[in-house]
Amino acid sequence: MTLRDAVLLAGGLRDEAYLLEAEVARIPEERRGDELARVFRVPLDSSYVADPTSYVRRETGARVADTPLQPYDNVYIRRIPGFDLARNVVVSGEVRFPGRYALQRRDERLLDVINRAGGLTDAA
C-alpha cells in the first residue's frame, strides 16, 4: 500500500490538512543505539484530496512520486497553522430575527449576536 492509497482509503485529506508534506515514522531495519524510529518527510499534492465532483481545487504543483508504506509505519498529516472554519450559532426564541448567525470573531459575545438578531422582543 502506498501513502496515497492509505489517505484515499481514509476519505482523503480534509480542508485543514497541510498539503505540502506529511511525516512518516518507520521502525528501522537495523536500530542504532536507542533509536526507536526514523522519521522522513514526504511531499504531498492535490491528488491526495478525495473529491469525486472535481469541485475542490487545491493545487500544490506537479504530482509527486508515491511513497510505499511498510508495516507499522505511522503517518502524520499536520493541520494548516491557524486554519479555522466559520462557526455558526442558532438564535431562537424571543428575538426579532431568529435564525442562524455566523460568529464574526472568536471572542464575540452572546449579547452581540442577540443584537444582530434584532434584539429581544417585548415578550422576552
Q: What pLDDT, on a 0 to 100 scale, did the predictor assign at position 61?
A: 55
- The sign of the CA dihedral 65, 66, 71, 73 is positive
3-class SS letters over 24-47: EEECCCCCCCCCCCEEEEEECCHH
Q: Over the stretch 67-105, which tens digit does the pLDDT of each residue have? A: 899 999 999 999 999 888 888 999 999 999 999 999 998
Task: Identify the band that residue 121 occupies on the pLDDT scale cut at 50, 70 and 90.
Answer: very high
Q: Is the pLDDT of residue 106 over 80?
A: yes
- Pair 91, 99: CB distance under 8 Å: yes
pTM passes above 0.85:
no
Write b or e for each residue in 17-32: b if 16 or more Cβ atoms lie within 10 A of its Cβ, otherwise e. Answer: bebeebebebeeeeee
Question: For residue 49, what are the CA distances in angstroms to 12, 36, 56, 79?
Answer: 5, 31, 8, 14
Residue ranges per domain, the chain?
1-83, 86-124
Q: Over the stretch 36-67, which tens digit does the pLDDT of each residue have? A: 999 999 988 777 877 655 555 555 555 667 88
| Cell numbers standing for residue 30 | 537495523
